[in-house]
Amino acid sequence: MKQVQLVGITPEENNKPIFEYIDKKFDDLKKFYQPKKPTEYLTRQETADLLKVDLSTIHNYTKRKVLNAWAIQGRVYYKRSEVEGSIIKLNK
């Protein structure tokens, strides 16, 4: 069995690279495992306000399948993420 003897190094200096490695790995994990945000539902009026259009336009977008409507207890809602995802960039 080999023994390595470190002279003039404190235990904290010896452990510093290990702790730096652990901190780096922990930061990497935090990037990938963020808590999920709850789905935000918008009413028809909130959706119209967000898109700066009137309710008839929201109705037409829903009929043309531009926006997906979700019914909850007889009321119509739109998922904010889907509304924002339906906006596309035009190349001019």
Rounded to 5°, the CA angle 36-41-34 comes to: 10
Among the listed residues 73, 72, 82, 75, the one whose alpha carbon sits nearest the alpha carbon of residue 44 = 75
Which domain range does residue 61 map to?
41-85
Alpha-carbon span 12 to 18, nearest angstrom: 10
Q: With beta carbons less than 8 A apart as the criterion, state whether 41 and 70 touch.
A: yes
Indicate whether 77 belongs to any domain.
yes
Quick: pLDDT tens for 4-47. 766 777 878 878 888 899 999 888 888 887 777 889 999 999 99
- How much is the pTM? 0.59
Does residue 25 fall inside a structural domain?
Answer: no
Taking only the tens place, the pLDDT of each residue in 74-88 is 999 999 999 999 988
Per the domain annotation, does 52 fall within a domain?
Answer: yes
